[in-house]
């Protein structure tokens, strides 16, 4: 499956009417590694909430209209730095109205889930 840059599908998370679901399978994301929040996390600083980020603003707005955001994050044992960061930063997403679940990579592979987002 070819990699599609997130920027090319971002509009899908704003244009839907009822449910948006995302399966996150990667061990880390370049966009996170390039950001200041990730770099601070790697220095031992917990990610600060980002309630006014464009993503969380969209989640809040869509949830207020009755739409549902959810994702399942596949996580290794032990989690990678990228996965630990995503779990540490999830509180803003959850506060905005997103339902985020975590699934072990072993269970995901046993269930036959794909290895791509």
| 3-state class (DSSP) for residue 117 | coil
Percent of the chain with pLDDT over 90: 72
| 3-state class (DSSP) for residue 69 | strand
Q: Is residue 2 part of a domain?
A: no
Q: Is residue 44 part of a domain?
A: yes
β partners of residue 68: 19
- pTM for the structure as a whole: 0.85
Q: Which domain holds residue 39?
A: 20-110
For position 1, what pLDDT does the model report?
Answer: 60
For position 49, what pLDDT does the model report?
Answer: 87
State yes or no: pLDDT of 6 exceeds 90: no
Q: Measured between alpha carbons, how far is 88 from 102 in angstroms, rounded to an integer? A: 12
Can you say how many angstroms the Cα of residue 101 is from the centroid of all Cα atoms in its chain? 10
Q: Is residue 13 part of a domain?
A: no
Q: Mean of the pLDDT values across residues 2-30? A: 86
Q: Measured between alpha carbons, how far is 73 from 112 in angstroms, rounded to an integer? A: 15
How many Cβ atoms sit within 10 Å of the Cβ of residue 56?
19
Number of domains in the chain: 1
Q: Is residue 87 part of a domain?
A: yes
Q: What digits encode the pLDDT tens for the residues 74-111?
A: 999 999 999 999 999 999 999 999 999 999 999 999 99
Lowest model confidence (mean pLDDT) among 1-5, 51-55, 83-87, 104-108: 1-5
Q: Is residue 55 part of a domain?
A: yes
Closest CA to 113 of 80, 72, 84: 72
Q: Is residue 8 part of a domain?
A: no
């Amino acid at each position: 499956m070819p990699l599609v840059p997130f920027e090319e599908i971002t509009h899908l998370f704003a244009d839907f009417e009822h449910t948006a679901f995302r399966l996150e399978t990667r061990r880390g994301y370049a966009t996170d590694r390039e950001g200041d929040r990730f770099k601070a996390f790697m220095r031992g600083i917990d990610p600060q909430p980002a309630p006014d980020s464009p993503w969380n603003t969209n989640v809040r707005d869509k949830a207020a209209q009755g739409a549902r955001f959810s994702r399942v994050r596949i996580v290794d044992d032990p989690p990678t730095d990228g996965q630990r960061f995503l779990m540490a930063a999830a509180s803003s997403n959850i506060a905005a109205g997103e339902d985020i679940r975590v699934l072990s990579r072993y269970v995901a592979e046993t269930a036959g889930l794909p290895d791509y987002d």
